[in-house]
Amino acid sequence: MQHLLNIIQRPWHWSISGFLIGLTVPLLLLLGNKAFGISSSLRHICAACLPANISFFKYDWKKEAWNLFFVAGIIIGGFIAANYLQDGSDITVAAPTKERLANYGIRDYSLLLPHEIFEWSNIFTWKGRFFFMIGGFLVGFGTRYAGGCTSGHSIMGLSNLQWPSLVATCCFMAGGFLSANIIIPYVFKLFS
């Protein structure tokens, strides 16, 4: 048992991780005929908390409540994995990326996210406005406009061989390339 736990605690190979993520598609279909997709949960939260008479939020969100339980589970799973299923080693990041991140003042690889950015003390600085507020807004606005995110389009949609999901996935990637190679370096240069 201890041996098994040790194996789980080590970093996982990408093929194991990908296989288990992919298995979530048949798992949800078998459990209750549910299509894998996460960004819809953000819409249900809007519909539940502040529908404000907007037609896009006037639907029976309670019928989709399973999705909110699923994302609540993700929070629990994140807690379990981070606290009990890690071996405490630094995250392995490619050297050329480390070199670029050093220019941004990011040097600590002990956690999955750099604490130079993801700290409460940053929320009223440019980092907070850019990485949390603007970034978060774009994720919520963009996924809903695209009708899905990485899970709904790139995994569920592609698994079901839907070409609109391929278009969406290519655009996700194009936006990401633009952001990581032009926008983020520019913003760091501007403020630091």
Partner 1 sequence: MKYLKYLLAGTFFGIVLVKAQVISWFRIQEMFQLTSFHMYGVIGTAVITGIISLQIIKRFKIKSFNGEPIKVAPKSFDKGQIFGGLIFGIGWAITGACPGPLFAQIGSGFTVVIVTLFFAILGTWVYGLFSDKLPH
29 near partner 1, judged by CB under 8 A: yes
Single out the residue of 65, 103, 107, 192 in contact with partner 1 (rule: CB under 8 A). 65
30 near partner 1, judged by CB under 8 A: yes
Residues 149-178 that bind partner 1 (CB under 8 A): 149-151, 153-165, 167-178
Write down the least CB distance from residue 10 to partner 1, Å: 9
Single out the residue of 5, 6, 62, 72 in contact with partner 1 (rule: CB under 8 A). 72
What are residue 121's phi and psi, to 5 degrees?
A: -65, -10
62 is written with which tokens? 């309670």
Write down the least CB distance from residue 132 to partner 1, Å: 4
Residues 94-133 that bind partner 1 (CB under 8 A): 94-97, 100-101, 109, 112-114, 117-120, 122-123, 128, 130-133
Nearer to partner 1, 2 or 27 (CB): 27
Contact yes or no for 108/116 (Cβ under 8 A): yes
The string of DSSP letters for the chain reads -HHHHHHHHSPPPHHHHHHHHHHHHHHHHHHHSPPP-STHHHHHHHHHH--TT-GGG-S-GGGGHHHHHHHHHHHHHHHHHHHHS---PPPP--HHHHHHHHHTT----SSSS-TTTS-GGGTTSHHIIIIIIIHHHHHHHHHHHHT--IIIIIIIIHHTT-HHHHHHHHHHHHHHHHIIIIIHHHHHHHH-
Single out the residue of 125, 144, 186, 191 in contact with partner 1 (rule: CB under 8 A). 144
* Identity of the residue numbered 116: E
Residues 32-61 that bind partner 1 (CB under 8 A): 32-35, 38-39, 41-43, 45-46, 50, 52, 54-57
Single out the residue of 5, 6, 77, 103 in contact with partner 1 (rule: CB under 8 A). 77
64 near partner 1, judged by CB under 8 A: no
